[in-house]
């Protein structure tokens, strides 16, 4: 049986294929999995091909006996919040390729609790899709229309604002540079910032599926211009989001891009103070920094390491409870609001913390040590070769602390590194971070010897 779902949803390269029949059959499989008469809330971001996929999805759902409402252009967390809180939806489908380049689009499937479906349900949908046993064109389907779902953005914004002390944030009057990546982040986030008394400086704020301002994934490379503008604009901090506005990367007033695990290091002690009733632990993927763990442990907060992937982190956070779930790539999950990545909620929390501390963003992030890092990747012949490399690394560094739940992470005294096979392309990824300048290069040389590179 083939695979459809990746780490986060189903995505296709529009340059290679955009087959409406594929998405129609996929949505029929989703309908079969959820059950006849299941009601879905559908939304989309601004990407190319979105309307084609939308109509294919609706065709597949309705012809298989399911029903749908259409929320229009929304962020993924806004759609997820409405699915969870409305009470009438069995699930949702978000048409997006998240942070992928402009030539990609796809879908994320959301369960009735507003969280993306668990892996077991993904497998069930895939089995239905490849079995060719779909029951199509139910007689009741011809009676179904697709009503507009009004107020999704407004309800979401109200919910986010209600989670913070808006009187406090209004007293500070922060100026925020928002880089919305020319997509749906430009709809809700400015409203949140203004409702909290902030001034919005908008960058890449107009909707454009070609993403002319920058690539949809917020990274130090794609945010070079954004970083330069911060100081000239007089902003207190900046936030850059991805294509569907669930991931958020913050930039301090000096123009320093802060990874998601650093933001979690800043926000989590604040959340512990704000919600002492929550279990003092966080959940994060293996790619997050080990130095973050050292800092949080000093605050009485334990770190639960997990495989890379927001879906698994969200579901375990919901099942076991905690202060936060997060990813180094900018996913921030705040349980009192919702157990999913949410850039709107992240910016509201940052505004509240800065207002409470009366501090600069760079001062908050100074809790994190200065480090030197490398992120790179190498071609990989096969999965078997990758597993062989894992064993070599574990043998070579057998005296160090090792976590091998998803690749191999090695924690040294003043450094750590992760070697992990990609789930989406034939490469092996290497991440290294060191407190000593130059040590990251020495580690890379050692890793390359194990990889037999060069």
Catalytic residues: 98
Q: How far does the chain reach from its first CA to its final CA, in angstroms?
A: 37
Closest CA to 285 of 324, 246, 335: 324
Any idea what the Cα angle at residue 95 is, between residues 119 and 75, rounded to 5°? Answer: 100
List the one residue out of 333, 325, 280 whose CA is nearest residue 307.
325
CA distance 301 to 269: 8
* Cβ atoms of 218 and 247 closer than 8 Å: yes
Q: How does DSSP assign 127-185, residue by residue?
A: HHHHHT------GGGGG----B---HHHHHHHHHHHTS-HHHHHHH--EEEEE-TTTTH
Per DSSP, the residues of 312-381 read HHHHHHHHH--SEEE-TTSBEEETTTEEEE-HHHHHHHHHHHHHHHT--HHHHHTTSPP-EEEEEEEE-S
What token pair was written down for 405? 């739940």
Q: How far apart (Å, rounded) are the C-alpha atoms in residues 447 and 396?
A: 10
| 398: CB partners within 8 A, 6+ apart | none
Cβ distance 383 to 428 under 8 Å?
no
Q: Phi and psi dihedrals of 43, rounded to 5? A: -145, 170
β partners of residue 177? 201, 238
């Amino acid at each position: 049986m083939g695979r459809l779902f990746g780490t986060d949803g189903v995505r296709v390269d529009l340059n290679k294929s955009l087959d409406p029949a594929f998405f129609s059959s996929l949505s029929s499989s989703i309908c079969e999995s959820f059950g006849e008469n299941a009601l879905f809330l559908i939304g989309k971001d601004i990407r190319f091909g979105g309307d084609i996929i939308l109509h294919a999805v609706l065709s597949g759902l309705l012809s298989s006996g399911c029903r749908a409402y259409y929320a229009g252009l929304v962020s993924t967390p806004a759609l997820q919040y409405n699915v969870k809180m409305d009470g009438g939806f069995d699930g949702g489908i978000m048409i997006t390729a998240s942070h992928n380049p402009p030539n990609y689009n796809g879908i994320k499937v959301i369960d009735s609790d507003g969280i993306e479906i668990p892996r077991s349900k993904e497998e069930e949908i895939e089995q239905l899709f490849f079995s060719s046993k779909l029951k199509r064109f139910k007689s009741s389907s011809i009676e179904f229309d697709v009503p507009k779902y009004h107020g999704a953005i407004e309800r979401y914004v109200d919910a986010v604002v209600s989670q913070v002390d808006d009187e406090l944030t209004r007293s500070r009057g922060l100026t925020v540079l928002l880089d919305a990546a020319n997509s749906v982040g430009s709809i809700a986030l400015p409203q949140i910032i203004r409702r909290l008394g902030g001034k919005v400086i908008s960058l890449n704020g107009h909707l454009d599926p070609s993403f002319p301002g920058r690539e949809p994934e917020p990274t130090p490379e794609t945010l070079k211009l954004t970083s330069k503008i911060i100081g000239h604009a007089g902003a207190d901090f900046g936030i850059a989001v991805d294509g569907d506005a669930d991931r958020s990367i913050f930039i301090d007033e000096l123009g320093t891009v802060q990874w998601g695990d650093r933001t979690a290091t800043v926000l989590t002690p604040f959340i512990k103070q704000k919600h002492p009733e929550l279990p003092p632990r966080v959940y994060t993927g293996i790619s997050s920094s080990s130095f973050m763990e050292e800092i949080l442990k000093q605050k009485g907060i334990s770190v639960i390491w997990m495989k890379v992937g927001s879906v698994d982190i969200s579901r375990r956070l919901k099942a076991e409870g905690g202060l936060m779930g997060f990813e180094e790539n900018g996913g921030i999950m705040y349980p009192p609001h919702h157990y999913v990545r949410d850039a709107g909620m992240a910016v509201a929390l940052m505004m509240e913390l800065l207002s409470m501390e009366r501090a600069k963003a760079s001062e908050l992030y100074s809790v994190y040590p200065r480090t030197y890092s490398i992120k790179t990747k190498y071609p990989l012949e096969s999965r078997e070769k990758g597993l062989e490399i894992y064993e070599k690394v574990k043998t070579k560094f057998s005296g160090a602390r090792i976590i091998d739940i998803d690749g191999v992470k090695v924690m040294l005294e003043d450094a750590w590194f992760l070697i992990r096979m990609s789930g989406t392309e034939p490469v092996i990824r290497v991440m290294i971070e060191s407190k000593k300048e130059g040590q990251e290069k020495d580690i890379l040389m050692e890793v390359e010897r194990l990889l037999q590179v060069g």
